[in-house]
Structure 1
């Protein structure tokens, strides 16, 4: 599980969902675009909820580890939609500090 810290708010979601959102935000930023993303999250009572996040060039997302939770949500369809949207966002792909390009050459979530 990961926390997404965004504009004073903290939401909890699955690791792969959080990482996909951060990668998508980087691609949008590189191409000067924004998007509103409905992120699957875990509510305080453990239920699956949705948080709406505006991502783009000015996004400042911070991902931090959350306590392990048996409810770690995975949503391959959501991650696929982000990958598809990233492919349409424009030609520029940022290079992350770890040397990888968000979504480059990745077929699976």
Structure 2
């Protein structure tokens, strides 16, 4: 488990979740973007809830490992954060209609005989 220290608060979450949050924050910072992210966190009484973070270029997030018996796991959140991080690091090319040449997309279509 890791404690995320953010904006004066401490939030206990799983190792993979904390790592994915930090990686996504780094990628957003490199792109000069910010996003709201919601992750599961463990309360002091052992219950689970969610916390929302505004992360981006100005984010100051620290994660520190702490001993814990019950690791907080959320594979869907980790997969989503990693997918978002990859999207920033390696943007996908958009598909171009292969029926018409690329140069034809911007030219004037007046008929020339």
> Taking structure 1 as the reference length, what is the TM-score of the superposition?
0.77
Deviations 1:13-47 (A, max 9, x none): 00111011000000000011111001110011111
- Partners of 1:59 and 1:32 lie apart in 2 by 11
Q: What runs of 5+ residues in structure 1 fail to find an aligned partner?
A: 93-109
Asked which structure has the greater CA Rg, the reply is 2
Q: Does residue 53 in structure 1 map to residue 53 in structure 2?
A: yes
Higher helix proportion:
2
Q: In the superposition, relative to structure 1, how do residues 34 and 64 fare at CA in structure 2: closer, same or farther (>3 Å)?
A: same
Q: Which runs of 5+ in 2 are unaligned?
A: 92-113
Q: Deviations over 1:26-78 (max 9, x none)?
A: 000001111100111001111111000110001111011222222x1111110
Runs of 4+ in 1 over 3 A off after TM superposition: none
User: Once superposed, what is the RMSD of the aligned Cα atoms?
Assistant: 1.5
What is the TM-score of this pair, normalised by structure 2?
0.75
Q: Which residue is equivalent to 1:76?
A: 75
Distance in 2 (alpha carbons) for counterparts of 1:90 and 1:83: 10
Change (3 A) 1:79 1:19: same
Aligned to 1:19: 19
Provide the aligned length of Structure 1 versus Structure 2. 91
Separation in 2, partners of 1:57, 1:36 = 13
